[in-house]
């Protein structure tokens, strides 16, 4: 049985875009279905009597996996929700500055702009070059935009379009020395890289589980540092806001129940951690190293095909890698890849699913590969041959 057989992925498509939405193995989907059957067999018992304990079990396992204390971990449907949650909870004032980079995910940048417009604050953007030669360039670019009005720093752990692993520990240290809280957007972090939130030391960290942990869609987490837990509230205020209970923290009372929903994606996280950790003898460390090595090897193949040098050091690659493409002919090329002619041709003619991003703005664009255990060298050879014919 090949690794790919554990997934439902279309066998006629070369799938090189795990980074966008992930892909969930059959056995994890079966676990979710089992939870759904329990939920629908006796909904009252499931939600009223059993759910808290099951959420706590999933939370403990996930917290251990990402190196965080479970008391500060809340389940959310995606990283964008987590960012909006924290922004809504901040007491921003006019002239406050929210520091970010121009590699920031578009949805997060929109959330930052909205929070700034409502409060009179402003978003300050650090321009980080790509290609680049060293992670030190990232630290220097971010710290150079700090002023005495900088209230918060929002930084990607792994960038979306450019696929860069930022030196987040160094950034957190620099910001902490200046008394500036840091929110790390780790949408791609859990399952791609060994993760220890405690040692990194941010004030907030969010990660999608449905990407590199391969859980069902709509499962992510927000971790909140202890000093912030009394002030951070969920986007939806519900029964937990005035609960008289003292057996649970206010933080979990509010976040664990924001109204009726399907929590089975969260409850399936432990099975995903268990299953992917069982695929190789070395468990998760071997899986992450395998994907990293595959991404580096594939990057070398693509760079040869594009007649270009690697656009960043090896240490800034996780399990994704991006490459500049020749400028697009049509400046309307935009979005998540679906509007670019190369994206359409790669899928329609070659049956290769891979994103093409307009970055930092049209007509500039990037193509990004992903490396998950179900991918093979042959997948990247097919991409290389297609690019040679197209470019």
Peptide bond into 314 cis (omega under 30): no
Judge if 11 and 106 occupy the same domain. no
81, 223: one domain: yes
pLDDT tens digits along 91-146: 999 999 999 999 999 999 999 999 999 999 999 999 999 999 999 999 999 999 99
pLDDT per residue over 225-244, tens digit each?
999 999 999 999 999 999 99
Instruction: Measure the CA–CA gap between 267 and 294, rounded to whole angstroms.
Output: 30
* 228 and 289 share one domain: no
* CA–CA gap between residue 354 and residue 324 (Å, rounded): 14
Same domain, residue pair 36 and 170: yes
Same domain membership, residue 373 and residue 306: yes
Per-residue pLDDT tens for 279-317?
A: 999 999 999 999 999 999 999 999 999 999 999 999 999
How many of the other CB atoms lie within 10 Å of CB of 5? 12
Residue 23 lies in a domain: no
Inter-CA distances, 126 with 73, 99, 131, 177, Å: 29, 7, 15, 19
Q: 273, 291, 317 — which closes off a domain?
A: 273
Distance between alpha carbon 309 and the CA centroid of its chain, in Å? Answer: 26
* Nearest alpha-carbon partner for 374 in 21, 22, 20: 22
* Domain boundary pick from 222, 239, 273: 273
Which pLDDT score is estimated for 335? 46
Is the Cβ–Cβ distance between 19 and 320 less than 8 Å? yes
Domain count, the chain: 2
For residue 209, tell me if it sits in a domain: yes
If asked whether residues 248 and 300 sit together in one domain, one would say no
d(CA 317, CA 281): 23
Last-in-domain residue among 242, 273, 304: 273
Asked whether residue 244 falls in the same domain as residue 120, the answer is yes
Closest to 72 (Cα-Cα) out of 172, 171, 206, 267: 206
Note down pLDDT in tens along the chain; length 391 residues: 799 999 999 999 999 999 999 999 999 999 999 999 999 999 999 999 999 999 999 999 999 999 999 999 999 999 999 999 999 999 999 999 999 999 999 999 999 999 999 999 999 999 999 999 999 999 999 999 999 999 999 999 999 999 999 999 999 999 999 999 999 999 999 999 999 999 999 999 999 999 999 999 999 999 999 999 999 999 999 999 999 999 999 999 999 999 999 999 999 999 999 999 999 999 999 999 999 999 999 999 999 999 999 999 999 999 999 999 999 876 544 444 446 899 999 999 999 999 999 999 999 999 999 999 999 999 999 999 999 999 8
Give yes or no: residues 305 and 207 share one domain: no
Q: How many other C-beta atoms are found inside a 10 Å radius of the C-beta of residue 338? A: 11
Same domain (yes/no): 245, 335: no
CATH number for the domain spanning 189: value is 3.40.640.10
Are 212 and 359 in a shared domain?
A: no
Q: Is the dihedral of CA 197, 239, 47, 26 positive or negative?
A: negative
The helix, strand and coil proportions of the chain, stated in percent and rounded to the nearest 5, come to 45, 15, 40
Q: Is the domain of 249 the same as that of 304?
A: no
Strands 97-101 and 150-156: parallel
State how far the Cα of 322 lies from the Cα of 89, in Å rounded to an integer. Answer: 34
CATH of the domain at 7: 3.90.1150.10
The answer as to whether 21 is a domain residue is no
Displacement of CA 68 from its chain's centroid (Å): 17
Query: Is residue 327 situated within a structural domain?
Result: yes
Length, in residues, of the chain: 391
Name every residue whose Cβ is closer than 8 Å to that of residue 248 and which is 6 or more positions away in sequence. Answer: 52
- Tell me the residue range of the domain where 45 lies: 28-273
């Amino acid at each position: 049985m090949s690794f790919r057989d554990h997934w439902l992925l279309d066998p006629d498509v070369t799938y090189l875009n795990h980074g966008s939405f992930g892909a969930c193995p059959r056995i994890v989907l079966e676990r979710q279905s089992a939870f759904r059957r329990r939920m629908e067999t006796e909904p009252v018992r499931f939600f009223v009597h059993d759910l808290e304990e099951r959420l706590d079990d999933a939370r403990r396992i996930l917290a251990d996996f990402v190196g965080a204390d479970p008391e500060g971990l809340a389940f959310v449907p995606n990283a964008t929700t987590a960012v909006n949650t924290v922004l809504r909870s901040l007491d921003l004032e006019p002239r406050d500055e929210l520091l970010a980079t121009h590699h920031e995910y578009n949805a997060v940048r929109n959330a930052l702009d909205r929070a700034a417009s409502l409060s009179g604050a402003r978003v300050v953007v650090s321009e980080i070059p790509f290609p680049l030669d060293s992670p030190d360039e990232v630290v220097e670019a971010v710290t150079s935009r700090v002023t005495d009005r900088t209230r918060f720093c929002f930084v990607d752990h792994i960038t979306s379009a450019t696929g860069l692993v930022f030196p987040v520990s160094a950034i957190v240290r620099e910001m902490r020395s200046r008394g500036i809280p840091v929110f790390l957007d780790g949408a791609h972090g859990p399952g791609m890289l060994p993760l220890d939130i405690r040692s990194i030391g941010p004030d907030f960290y969010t990660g999608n589980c449905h990407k590199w942990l391969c859980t069902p869609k709509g499962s992510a987490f927000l971790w909140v540092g202890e000093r912030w837990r009394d002030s951070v509230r969920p986007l939806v205020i519900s029964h937990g806001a005035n609960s008289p209970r003292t057996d649970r923290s206010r933080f979990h009372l509010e976040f664990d129940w924001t109204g009726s929903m399907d929590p089975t994606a969260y409850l399936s996280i432990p099975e995903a951690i268990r299953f992917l950790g069982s695929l190789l003898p070395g468990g998760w460390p071997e899986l992450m190293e395998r994907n990293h090595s595959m991404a580096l090897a594939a990057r070398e193949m693509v760079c040869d095909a594009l007649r270009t040098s690697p656009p960043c050091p090896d240490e800034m690659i996780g399990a994704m890698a991006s490459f500049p493409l020749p400028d697009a002919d049509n400046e309307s090329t935009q979005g998540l890849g679906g509007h670019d002619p190369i994206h359409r041709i790669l899928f329609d003619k070659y049956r290769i699913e891979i994103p093409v991003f307009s970055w930092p703005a049209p007509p500039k664009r990037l193509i990004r590969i992903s490396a998950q255990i179900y991918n093979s060298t042959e997948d990247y050879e097919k991409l290389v041959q297609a690019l040679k014919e197209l470019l």
